[in-house]
Amino acid sequence: MDKNTELINKANEIIEKNRDIAEGDYYRLKYHIMPPTGLLNDPNGFIHYKGEYHLFYQFHPFDTTHGLKYWAHMKSKDLVHWEELPIALAPSKWYETHGCYSGSAVKNDGILTLVYTGNVKDEEGNRETYQCLATTEDGIQFSKYDNNPVMYNQPEGYTRHFRDPKVWKKDGLWYMVIGTQTVKEEGRVLLFKSKDLKDWELVGEVAGSNLNDLGYLGYMWECPDLFSLNGKDVLIFSPQGIEAKGDLYNNIYQSGYFVGKLDYSTGKMEHGEFIEIDRGFEFYAPQTTLDEKGRRIMFAWMGLPEREEHPTVEHKWIHAMTLPRVLELKGSKLYQKPVEELKLLRKDQVTYKDILIDNEEIILQKISGDVLELLVEFELEDANEFGIKLRCSEDGKEETVLYYDRNNEKFIFDRNKSGKGYKGIRRCKIPNTNILKLHIFMDRSSLEVFINDGEEVFTGRIYPSKESLGIKLFAKEGKVKIRNISKWNL
Ligand code: FRU
Protein backbone atom coordinates (compact mmCIF):
# COMPACT_ATOMS: atom_id res chain seq x y z
CA MET A 1 0.00 0.00 0.00
CA ASP A 2 1.37 3.45 -0.81
CA LYS A 3 1.99 5.95 1.95
CA ASN A 4 -0.88 8.21 0.91
CA THR A 5 -3.47 5.42 1.02
CA GLU A 6 -2.04 4.23 4.32
CA LEU A 7 -2.36 7.69 5.91
CA ILE A 8 -5.86 8.19 4.57
CA ASN A 9 -6.94 4.76 5.81
CA LYS A 10 -5.54 5.50 9.25
CA ALA A 11 -7.48 8.76 9.38
CA ASN A 12 -10.69 7.12 8.16
CA GLU A 13 -10.41 4.41 10.79
CA ILE A 14 -10.26 6.89 13.63
CA ILE A 15 -12.99 9.06 12.10
CA GLU A 16 -15.36 6.09 11.90
CA LYS A 17 -14.42 4.98 15.40
CA ASN A 18 -15.17 8.39 16.93
CA ARG A 19 -17.93 9.70 14.68
CA ASP A 20 -20.77 8.59 16.93
CA ILE A 21 -19.08 9.99 20.02
CA ALA A 22 -18.93 13.38 18.33
CA GLU A 23 -22.48 13.05 16.99
CA GLY A 24 -23.70 12.41 20.54
CA ASP A 25 -22.59 15.84 21.68
CA TYR A 26 -25.38 18.33 22.42
CA TYR A 27 -22.97 21.10 21.34
CA ARG A 28 -22.71 19.78 17.76
CA LEU A 29 -23.78 22.53 15.38
CA LYS A 30 -26.78 22.06 13.09
CA TYR A 31 -25.91 24.28 10.13
CA HIS A 32 -22.18 25.00 10.32
CA ILE A 33 -19.25 23.03 8.93
CA MET A 34 -17.50 20.99 11.62
CA PRO A 35 -14.96 18.18 11.59
CA PRO A 36 -16.55 14.72 11.88
CA THR A 37 -14.09 14.14 14.76
CA GLY A 38 -10.73 15.72 15.61
CA LEU A 39 -9.68 19.30 15.03
CA LEU A 40 -10.62 21.78 12.32
CA ASN A 41 -8.70 24.99 11.74
CA ASP A 42 -8.24 27.24 8.70
CA PRO A 43 -10.56 27.26 5.71
CA ASN A 44 -8.51 26.25 2.65
CA GLY A 45 -9.01 26.07 -1.10
CA PHE A 46 -12.37 27.83 -1.13
CA ILE A 47 -13.61 27.95 -4.74
CA HIS A 48 -16.79 27.98 -6.82
CA TYR A 49 -16.05 25.40 -9.47
CA LYS A 50 -18.47 24.12 -12.14
CA GLY A 51 -21.44 25.41 -10.18
CA GLU A 52 -20.39 23.86 -6.88
CA TYR A 53 -18.68 25.40 -3.89
CA HIS A 54 -15.69 23.46 -2.64
CA LEU A 55 -14.33 24.17 0.79
CA PHE A 56 -11.36 22.39 2.30
CA TYR A 57 -10.06 22.82 5.80
CA GLN A 58 -7.04 22.13 7.97
CA PHE A 59 -7.88 18.87 9.67
CA HIS A 60 -6.22 16.85 12.38
CA PRO A 61 -8.29 13.66 12.45
CA PHE A 62 -6.50 11.93 15.32
CA ASP A 63 -7.00 14.30 18.19
CA THR A 64 -8.39 17.69 19.26
CA THR A 65 -4.90 19.20 19.29
CA HIS A 66 -2.81 20.65 16.45
CA GLY A 67 -1.07 17.56 15.09
CA LEU A 68 -0.46 16.20 11.64
CA LYS A 69 -2.61 18.26 9.26
CA TYR A 70 -4.65 16.86 6.38
CA TRP A 71 -6.99 18.70 4.03
CA ALA A 72 -10.62 17.70 4.60
CA HIS A 73 -13.01 18.39 1.72
CA MET A 74 -16.66 19.52 1.58
CA LYS A 75 -18.84 20.64 -1.30
CA SER A 76 -22.16 22.36 -1.71
CA LYS A 77 -24.45 23.72 -4.40
CA ASP A 78 -25.89 26.45 -2.20
CA LEU A 79 -23.35 27.22 0.57
CA VAL A 80 -25.85 25.87 3.09
CA HIS A 81 -26.15 22.11 2.57
CA TRP A 82 -22.70 20.52 2.53
CA GLU A 83 -21.55 17.08 1.55
CA GLU A 84 -18.53 15.51 3.22
CA LEU A 85 -16.12 14.18 0.57
CA PRO A 86 -13.08 11.93 1.03
CA ILE A 87 -9.97 13.53 2.51
CA ALA A 88 -8.26 15.52 -0.26
CA LEU A 89 -4.65 15.71 0.95
CA ALA A 90 -2.68 13.58 3.39
CA PRO A 91 0.91 14.42 4.39
CA SER A 92 2.53 11.53 2.54
CA LYS A 93 5.54 13.11 0.80
CA TRP A 94 8.99 14.17 1.97
CA TYR A 95 8.09 17.83 1.48
CA GLU A 96 5.11 17.74 3.85
CA THR A 97 5.99 15.19 6.54
CA HIS A 98 4.63 17.42 9.29
CA GLY A 99 1.48 18.51 7.59
CA CYS A 100 -0.24 19.73 4.46
CA TYR A 101 -0.62 23.31 5.63
CA SER A 102 -2.99 26.03 4.46
CA GLY A 103 -3.43 27.19 0.90
CA SER A 104 -5.92 28.05 -1.79
CA ALA A 105 -7.53 26.73 -4.98
CA VAL A 106 -7.66 28.03 -8.54
CA LYS A 107 -9.07 26.92 -11.87
CA ASN A 108 -6.09 26.44 -14.19
CA ASP A 109 -7.13 25.66 -17.79
CA GLY A 110 -10.34 24.32 -16.33
CA ILE A 111 -8.56 22.10 -13.81
CA LEU A 112 -9.18 22.50 -10.10
CA THR A 113 -5.72 23.03 -8.64
CA LEU A 114 -4.70 23.33 -4.99
CA VAL A 115 -1.71 25.42 -3.94
CA TYR A 116 -0.58 24.68 -0.39
CA THR A 117 2.35 24.64 2.00
CA GLY A 118 4.25 21.48 2.80
CA ASN A 119 5.48 21.67 6.37
CA VAL A 120 8.53 19.72 7.52
CA LYS A 121 10.24 19.64 10.92
CA ASP A 122 13.46 17.83 11.70
CA GLU A 123 14.40 16.17 14.99
CA GLU A 124 15.68 19.42 16.48
CA GLY A 125 12.39 21.12 15.63
CA ASN A 126 13.87 23.07 12.69
CA ARG A 127 11.25 23.90 10.14
CA GLU A 128 11.28 23.73 6.35
CA THR A 129 8.41 24.92 4.20
CA TYR A 130 7.66 24.30 0.56
CA GLN A 131 4.88 25.47 -1.73
CA CYS A 132 3.16 22.63 -3.56
CA LEU A 133 0.47 21.84 -6.14
CA ALA A 134 -2.20 19.16 -6.38
CA THR A 135 -4.84 18.68 -9.05
CA THR A 136 -8.00 16.69 -9.57
CA GLU A 137 -9.80 15.31 -12.62
CA ASP A 138 -13.01 14.28 -10.91
CA GLY A 139 -13.21 16.86 -8.10
CA ILE A 140 -12.69 14.12 -5.50
CA GLN A 141 -9.32 12.38 -5.88
CA PHE A 142 -6.29 14.67 -5.83
CA SER A 143 -2.83 13.96 -7.25
CA LYS A 144 0.21 15.86 -6.13
CA TYR A 145 2.32 17.39 -8.85
CA ASP A 146 5.34 15.20 -9.69
CA ASN A 147 7.78 18.07 -9.53
CA ASN A 148 6.63 19.38 -6.16
CA PRO A 149 7.64 21.55 -4.46
CA VAL A 150 7.13 24.38 -6.92
CA MET A 151 8.75 26.78 -4.47
CA TYR A 152 11.75 25.20 -2.86
CA ASN A 153 13.97 28.19 -2.16
CA GLN A 154 12.64 31.25 -0.50
CA PRO A 155 13.99 34.81 -0.67
CA GLU A 156 16.64 35.89 1.85
CA GLY A 157 15.73 37.78 4.96
CA TYR A 158 12.73 35.70 6.03
CA THR A 159 12.45 32.76 8.40
CA ARG A 160 11.00 29.36 7.54
CA HIS A 161 7.66 30.60 8.82
CA PHE A 162 6.75 31.07 5.20
CA ARG A 163 3.36 29.73 4.22
CA ASP A 164 -0.32 29.88 3.27
CA PRO A 165 -0.23 30.72 -0.48
CA LYS A 166 -3.32 32.47 -1.82
CA VAL A 167 -3.31 32.55 -5.61
CA TRP A 168 -5.33 34.49 -8.22
CA LYS A 169 -5.08 35.42 -11.87
CA LYS A 170 -4.87 38.92 -13.28
CA ASP A 171 -4.24 39.97 -16.88
CA GLY A 172 -2.99 36.53 -17.86
CA LEU A 173 -0.53 36.10 -14.97
CA TRP A 174 -0.80 34.19 -11.72
CA TYR A 175 -0.13 36.06 -8.49
CA MET A 176 0.44 34.62 -5.04
CA VAL A 177 0.62 36.17 -1.60
CA ILE A 178 2.54 34.37 1.16
CA GLY A 179 2.53 35.05 4.89
CA THR A 180 5.89 35.22 6.61
CA GLN A 181 8.17 37.06 9.02
CA THR A 182 11.54 38.74 8.59
CA VAL A 183 14.56 37.37 10.41
CA LYS A 184 13.98 40.27 12.82
CA GLU A 185 10.53 38.77 13.54
CA GLU A 186 8.32 41.28 11.81
CA GLY A 187 5.22 40.01 10.02
CA ARG A 188 5.20 40.29 6.23
CA VAL A 189 3.11 39.54 3.18
CA LEU A 190 5.04 38.90 -0.04
CA LEU A 191 3.80 38.96 -3.63
CA PHE A 192 5.03 36.47 -6.27
CA LYS A 193 4.12 36.04 -9.92
CA SER A 194 4.12 33.13 -12.35
CA LYS A 195 3.11 32.24 -15.89
CA ASP A 196 2.23 28.63 -15.12
CA LEU A 197 1.84 28.17 -11.33
CA LYS A 198 5.18 26.32 -11.36
CA ASP A 199 7.92 28.92 -11.72
CA TRP A 200 7.46 31.71 -9.23
CA GLU A 201 9.26 35.01 -9.11
CA LEU A 202 9.26 37.43 -6.18
CA VAL A 203 7.63 40.78 -6.99
CA GLY A 204 8.08 42.42 -3.59
CA GLU A 205 6.79 43.07 -0.09
CA VAL A 206 3.11 43.97 -0.05
CA ALA A 207 2.98 45.19 3.53
CA GLY A 208 4.52 44.43 6.89
CA SER A 209 5.14 45.17 10.50
CA ASN A 210 7.58 48.13 10.81
CA LEU A 211 7.45 48.57 7.04
CA ASN A 212 6.94 51.97 5.42
CA ASP A 213 4.72 54.06 7.67
CA LEU A 214 3.27 51.15 9.58
CA GLY A 215 4.53 50.71 13.13
CA TYR A 216 4.97 47.35 14.80
CA LEU A 217 2.07 45.06 13.96
CA GLY A 218 3.09 41.60 15.06
CA TYR A 219 5.94 39.12 14.59
CA MET A 220 4.22 36.86 12.05
CA TRP A 221 1.45 37.35 9.50
CA GLU A 222 -0.51 34.22 8.62
CA CYS A 223 -3.05 33.41 5.94
CA PRO A 224 -2.98 36.46 3.65
CA ASP A 225 -5.70 37.00 1.07
CA LEU A 226 -5.64 39.81 -1.48
CA PHE A 227 -8.48 40.78 -3.80
CA SER A 228 -10.11 43.75 -5.39
CA LEU A 229 -13.50 44.94 -4.30
CA ASN A 230 -15.36 47.98 -5.54
CA GLY A 231 -12.31 49.33 -7.36
CA LYS A 232 -10.01 49.05 -4.33
CA ASP A 233 -7.62 46.36 -3.13
CA VAL A 234 -8.18 44.59 0.14
CA LEU A 235 -5.49 42.64 2.01
CA ILE A 236 -6.77 40.31 4.72
CA PHE A 237 -4.29 38.64 7.05
CA SER A 238 -3.91 37.22 10.55
CA PRO A 239 -1.10 38.89 12.48
CA GLN A 240 0.34 37.36 15.63
CA GLY A 241 1.91 39.31 18.48
CA ILE A 242 -0.23 42.43 18.74
CA GLU A 243 -0.96 43.56 22.27
CA ALA A 244 -4.49 44.30 23.44
CA LYS A 245 -5.39 47.98 23.38
CA GLY A 246 -8.66 48.88 25.09
CA ASP A 247 -11.46 47.19 23.16
CA LEU A 248 -9.11 46.16 20.36
CA TYR A 249 -7.03 43.00 19.86
CA ASN A 250 -8.33 41.10 22.87
CA ASN A 251 -8.04 37.63 21.35
CA ILE A 252 -4.77 35.71 21.38
CA TYR A 253 -4.25 36.49 17.67
CA GLN A 254 -6.12 38.81 15.32
CA SER A 255 -7.57 38.81 11.82
CA GLY A 256 -7.93 42.09 10.03
CA TYR A 257 -7.51 44.01 6.81
CA PHE A 258 -6.09 46.95 4.96
CA VAL A 259 -7.85 48.74 2.13
CA GLY A 260 -5.75 50.51 -0.50
CA LYS A 261 -4.06 50.04 -3.84
CA LEU A 262 -1.60 47.32 -4.81
CA ASP A 263 1.14 48.20 -7.28
CA TYR A 264 1.48 44.97 -9.26
CA SER A 265 4.87 46.00 -10.63
CA THR A 266 6.57 46.51 -7.23
CA GLY A 267 4.28 44.46 -5.03
CA LYS A 268 3.82 47.37 -2.66
CA MET A 269 0.41 48.24 -1.33
CA GLU A 270 -0.52 51.76 -0.26
CA HIS A 271 -3.00 51.18 2.49
CA GLY A 272 -4.98 52.64 5.35
CA GLU A 273 -5.20 51.49 8.95
CA PHE A 274 -5.49 47.92 10.20
CA ILE A 275 -9.08 47.02 11.08
CA GLU A 276 -10.21 43.85 12.85
CA ILE A 277 -12.73 41.92 10.78
CA ASP A 278 -14.73 40.40 13.61
CA ARG A 279 -15.22 41.87 17.09
CA GLY A 280 -16.04 38.65 18.91
CA PHE A 281 -14.10 35.85 20.53
CA GLU A 282 -13.45 33.08 18.01
CA PHE A 283 -12.46 34.13 14.52
CA TYR A 284 -9.24 33.46 12.62
CA ALA A 285 -7.57 32.83 9.26
CA PRO A 286 -10.42 33.94 6.97
CA GLN A 287 -10.29 33.05 3.28
CA THR A 288 -12.39 34.43 0.44
CA THR A 289 -13.33 33.50 -3.10
CA LEU A 290 -15.11 35.25 -5.93
CA ASP A 291 -18.09 33.07 -6.80
CA GLU A 292 -19.66 32.57 -10.23
CA LYS A 293 -22.30 35.13 -9.27
CA GLY A 294 -19.61 37.77 -8.70
CA ARG A 295 -19.85 37.82 -4.91
CA ARG A 296 -16.76 37.95 -2.69
CA ILE A 297 -17.56 35.32 -0.06
CA MET A 298 -15.59 34.67 3.10
CA PHE A 299 -15.31 31.75 5.49
CA ALA A 300 -13.24 31.88 8.66
CA TRP A 301 -12.20 29.44 11.31
CA MET A 302 -14.58 29.91 14.28
CA GLY A 303 -11.73 29.19 16.66
CA LEU A 304 -8.25 30.37 17.56
CA PRO A 305 -4.81 28.82 17.79
CA GLU A 306 -3.74 27.72 21.27
CA ARG A 307 -7.31 27.68 22.57
CA GLU A 308 -8.18 24.02 22.80
CA GLU A 309 -10.13 23.89 26.04
CA HIS A 310 -13.59 23.84 24.56
CA PRO A 311 -16.07 21.44 26.20
CA THR A 312 -16.52 19.58 22.90
CA VAL A 313 -13.16 17.87 23.36
CA GLU A 314 -14.87 15.36 25.66
CA HIS A 315 -16.70 14.27 22.54
CA LYS A 316 -13.52 14.11 20.49
CA TRP A 317 -14.07 17.10 18.21
CA ILE A 318 -13.23 20.79 18.30
CA HIS A 319 -13.92 24.00 16.35
CA ALA A 320 -16.07 24.87 13.34
CA MET A 321 -16.28 27.22 10.39
CA THR A 322 -18.19 30.51 10.51
CA LEU A 323 -21.17 30.98 8.25
CA PRO A 324 -20.30 32.10 4.72
CA ARG A 325 -20.43 35.89 4.57
CA VAL A 326 -20.59 38.21 1.56
CA LEU A 327 -18.09 41.04 1.73
CA GLU A 328 -18.91 44.54 0.55
CA LEU A 329 -16.80 47.65 0.73
CA LYS A 330 -18.32 50.95 1.80
CA GLY A 331 -15.68 53.66 1.70
CA SER A 332 -12.74 51.96 3.38
CA LYS A 333 -14.76 49.63 5.53
CA LEU A 334 -15.68 46.01 4.95
CA TYR A 335 -19.28 45.04 5.57
CA GLN A 336 -20.17 41.39 6.07
CA LYS A 337 -23.55 39.87 5.37
CA PRO A 338 -24.68 36.29 5.83
CA VAL A 339 -25.25 34.83 2.35
CA GLU A 340 -28.86 35.06 1.11
CA GLU A 341 -28.98 31.27 0.68
CA LEU A 342 -29.19 30.86 4.46
CA LYS A 343 -32.87 31.82 4.10
CA LEU A 344 -33.35 28.28 2.75
CA LEU A 345 -33.06 27.08 6.35
CA ARG A 346 -35.85 29.26 7.73
CA LYS A 347 -38.87 27.57 9.33
CA ASP A 348 -41.76 28.61 11.62
CA GLN A 349 -41.54 32.39 11.40
CA VAL A 350 -42.74 34.35 14.42
CA THR A 351 -42.94 38.16 14.30
CA TYR A 352 -43.83 40.81 16.85
CA LYS A 353 -43.98 44.54 16.15
CA ASP A 354 -43.93 47.79 18.09
CA ILE A 355 -43.23 46.75 21.65
CA LEU A 356 -42.20 49.40 24.14
CA ILE A 357 -39.82 48.25 26.87
CA ASP A 358 -39.63 50.65 29.80
CA ASN A 359 -36.86 49.98 32.30
CA GLU A 360 -37.75 46.27 32.41
CA GLU A 361 -37.03 42.82 31.09
CA ILE A 362 -39.63 41.07 28.94
CA ILE A 363 -40.15 37.61 27.51
CA LEU A 364 -42.02 37.07 24.26
CA GLN A 365 -43.97 33.85 24.46
CA LYS A 366 -43.00 32.35 21.14
CA ILE A 367 -39.38 33.43 21.12
CA SER A 368 -36.94 30.94 22.61
CA GLY A 369 -34.63 28.17 21.45
CA ASP A 370 -31.09 27.11 20.62
CA VAL A 371 -30.94 26.76 16.81
CA LEU A 372 -32.40 29.86 15.29
CA GLU A 373 -32.14 33.13 13.44
CA LEU A 374 -33.35 36.39 14.94
CA LEU A 375 -33.80 39.81 13.37
CA VAL A 376 -34.35 42.58 15.89
CA GLU A 377 -34.80 46.25 15.16
CA PHE A 378 -34.53 48.54 18.15
CA GLU A 379 -35.61 52.16 17.94
CA LEU A 380 -33.65 54.21 20.43
CA GLU A 381 -35.56 56.21 23.01
CA ASP A 382 -34.03 57.24 26.31
CA ALA A 383 -32.74 53.95 27.76
CA ASN A 384 -29.05 54.01 28.58
CA GLU A 385 -28.66 50.31 27.96
CA PHE A 386 -30.83 47.89 26.04
CA GLY A 387 -30.46 44.57 24.35
CA ILE A 388 -31.22 40.90 24.33
CA LYS A 389 -30.33 37.97 26.57
CA LEU A 390 -30.01 34.58 24.94
CA ARG A 391 -29.77 31.05 26.30
CA CYS A 392 -31.25 32.11 29.65
CA SER A 393 -31.82 29.48 32.31
CA GLU A 394 -34.96 29.59 34.46
CA ASP A 395 -33.01 30.29 37.63
CA GLY A 396 -31.31 33.30 36.02
CA LYS A 397 -27.82 31.87 36.48
CA GLU A 398 -27.08 31.39 32.81
CA GLU A 399 -27.44 34.02 30.12
CA THR A 400 -25.51 35.43 27.18
CA VAL A 401 -25.99 39.16 26.89
CA LEU A 402 -25.85 41.29 23.75
CA TYR A 403 -26.49 44.95 24.43
CA TYR A 404 -25.92 48.53 23.44
CA ASP A 405 -24.43 51.11 25.79
CA ARG A 406 -25.82 54.37 24.48
CA ASN A 407 -23.61 56.72 26.51
CA ASN A 408 -20.42 55.11 25.32
CA GLU A 409 -21.81 54.18 21.90
CA LYS A 410 -20.65 50.60 22.28
CA PHE A 411 -22.08 47.25 21.45
CA ILE A 412 -21.20 44.50 23.91
CA PHE A 413 -21.13 40.70 23.82
CA ASP A 414 -20.89 39.34 27.36
CA ARG A 415 -20.39 35.60 27.77
CA ASN A 416 -19.37 35.62 31.42
CA LYS A 417 -22.54 33.74 32.36
CA SER A 418 -22.85 31.66 29.21
CA GLY A 419 -22.15 28.29 30.82
CA LYS A 420 -19.06 26.19 30.29
CA GLY A 421 -16.02 27.16 28.26
CA TYR A 422 -14.09 30.38 27.81
CA LYS A 423 -15.59 33.52 29.34
CA GLY A 424 -15.17 37.23 28.68
CA ILE A 425 -16.57 40.41 27.21
CA ARG A 426 -15.98 42.00 23.81
CA ARG A 427 -16.93 45.55 22.93
CA CYS A 428 -16.91 47.64 19.80
CA LYS A 429 -17.82 51.19 18.91
CA ILE A 430 -21.14 51.53 17.07
CA PRO A 431 -22.02 55.17 16.48
CA ASN A 432 -25.36 56.20 17.87
CA THR A 433 -28.10 56.23 15.26
CA ASN A 434 -31.82 56.10 15.67
CA ILE A 435 -32.04 52.39 14.85
CA LEU A 436 -29.96 49.42 15.98
CA LYS A 437 -30.42 46.29 13.90
CA LEU A 438 -29.25 42.89 15.11
CA HIS A 439 -29.18 39.85 12.88
CA ILE A 440 -28.35 36.86 15.06
CA PHE A 441 -27.51 33.28 14.09
CA MET A 442 -27.55 30.91 17.02
CA ASP A 443 -26.52 27.30 16.55
CA ARG A 444 -26.36 25.22 19.74
CA SER A 445 -22.88 26.39 20.78
CA SER A 446 -22.21 29.29 18.44
CA LEU A 447 -23.41 32.85 18.00
CA GLU A 448 -22.82 35.21 15.09
CA VAL A 449 -24.24 38.70 15.50
CA PHE A 450 -24.40 41.00 12.48
CA ILE A 451 -24.99 44.61 13.49
CA ASN A 452 -26.60 47.27 11.28
CA ASP A 453 -26.48 45.24 8.06
CA GLY A 454 -22.94 44.02 8.53
CA GLU A 455 -21.22 47.14 9.83
CA GLU A 456 -19.72 45.01 12.60
CA VAL A 457 -19.91 41.30 13.42
CA PHE A 458 -19.32 39.49 16.71
CA THR A 459 -18.64 35.75 16.61
CA GLY A 460 -18.27 33.46 19.58
CA ARG A 461 -18.77 29.98 20.94
CA ILE A 462 -20.93 29.51 24.04
CA TYR A 463 -21.69 26.35 26.00
CA PRO A 464 -24.88 26.79 28.03
CA SER A 465 -26.78 23.82 29.40
CA LYS A 466 -29.35 22.38 27.06
CA GLU A 467 -32.27 23.50 29.24
CA SER A 468 -31.23 27.16 28.96
CA LEU A 469 -33.44 28.21 26.07
CA GLY A 470 -34.92 31.49 27.25
CA ILE A 471 -34.70 34.79 25.37
CA LYS A 472 -35.34 38.13 27.06
CA LEU A 473 -35.36 41.72 25.85
CA PHE A 474 -34.49 44.53 28.20
CA ALA A 475 -34.02 48.26 28.69
CA LYS A 476 -32.33 49.98 31.62
CA GLU A 477 -32.87 53.50 32.91
CA GLY A 478 -35.44 54.39 30.30
CA LYS A 479 -37.22 53.09 27.25
CA VAL A 480 -36.46 51.42 23.96
CA LYS A 481 -38.90 50.42 21.27
CA ILE A 482 -38.75 47.15 19.40
CA ARG A 483 -39.99 48.02 15.96
CA ASN A 484 -39.78 44.48 14.81
CA ILE A 485 -38.53 41.14 16.02
CA SER A 486 -38.66 38.02 13.85
CA LYS A 487 -37.51 34.56 14.72
CA TRP A 488 -37.04 31.49 12.58
CA ASN A 489 -36.08 28.03 13.70
CA LEU A 490 -33.30 26.74 11.48
C1 FRU B 1 -3.10 29.38 10.83
C2 FRU B 1 -2.03 28.34 10.56
C3 FRU B 1 -1.40 28.54 9.19
C4 FRU B 1 -0.89 27.17 8.87
C5 FRU B 1 -1.97 26.29 9.46
C6 FRU B 1 -1.50 24.98 10.02
O7 FRU B 1 -4.04 28.96 11.77
O8 FRU B 1 -1.06 28.35 11.57
O9 FRU B 1 -0.44 29.55 9.15
O10 FRU B 1 -0.73 26.96 7.51
O11 FRU B 1 -2.59 27.04 10.48
O12 FRU B 1 -2.58 24.21 10.42
| Ligand 1 atom 8 nearest Cα | 222
73, 13 contact by CB (below 8 A) = no
pLDDT at 122: 85
> Does any ligand 1 atom lie closer than 6 A to the CB of residue 71?
no
Does any ligand 1 atom lie closer than 6 A to the CB of residue 102? yes
403 Cα–ligand 1 center, Å: 33
For ligand 1, whether the C-beta of 96 sits within 6 Å is no
> Confidence class of residue 305 from pLDDT cuts 50, 70 and 90?
very high
pLDDT tens digits, one per residue of 99-153:
999 999 999 999 999 999 999 998 888 899 999 999 999 999 999 999 999 999 9
Report the residue among 102, 120, 304, 321 best suited for mutation to probe ligand 1: largest number of ligand atoms under 8 A from its CB: 102
Predicted local confidence at residue 396, as pLDDT: 93
Nearest Cα to Cα of residue 116 among 81, 160, 162: 162
Per-residue pLDDT, 1: 86
Strands of 333-338's sheet in order across: 284-290, 296-301, 325-330, 333-338
pLDDT for 123? 83
Using a 6 Å cutoff on CB, does residue 455 contact ligand 1?
no
Stretch 281-307: mean pLDDT, rounded? Answer: 98
CA of 405 to the centre of ligand 1 (A): 36
Q: Is 32 in the pocket of ligand 1 (CB under 6 A)?
A: no
Mean pLDDT of the chain: 97
* pLDDT at residue 125, as a whole number: 81
Give me the pLDDT at residue 152, please: 93
Protein residue closest via CA to atom 9 of ligand 1: 222
Average pLDDT of span 264-288: 98
CA 101 to ligand 1 centroid distance, Å: 6
> How much of the chain, in percent, has pLDDT values that exceed 70?
100
Q: What amino acid occupies position 108?
A: N
Average pLDDT for residues 243-250, to the nearest whole number?
A: 98
Q: Which atom of ligand 1 is nearest to the CA of 42?
A: 7
- CB of 164 closer than 6 angstroms to any ligand 1 atom: yes
Using one digit for the tens of pLDDT, what is the confidence trace for 38-85?
Answer: 999 999 999 999 999 999 999 999 999 999 999 999 999 999 999 999
Atom of ligand 1 nearest to the CA of 58: 12
**Could you tell me if the CB of 223 is within 6 A of ligand 1?**
yes
In short, whether 136's Cβ falls inside 6 Å of ligand 1 is: no
- In this structure, the residue with its CA closest to atom 6 of ligand 1 is 101
285 C-alpha vs ligand 1 centroid, how far in Å? Answer: 8
Determine the residue of 63, 69, 101 to mutate for testing ligand 1's pocket, defined as the one with the most ligand atoms within 8 A of the Cβ atom. Answer: 101
For ligand 1, say whether the CB of 236 is within 6 Å of any of its atoms.
no
Task: Return the ligand 1 atom nearest residue 284 CA.
Answer: 7
What ipTM did this prediction achieve?
0.99
Q: Distance from the CA of 319 to the center of ligand 1, in angstroms? A: 14
Residues catalogued as catalytic: 42
- What is the whole-number distance in angstroms between the Cα of residue 117 and the centre of ligand 1? 9
> From the alpha carbon of 238, which atom of ligand 1 is closest?
1
Tell me the CA–centroid distance for residue 243 and ligand 1, in Å: 20
What is the rounded CA–CA span in Å between residue 304 and residue 254?
A: 9
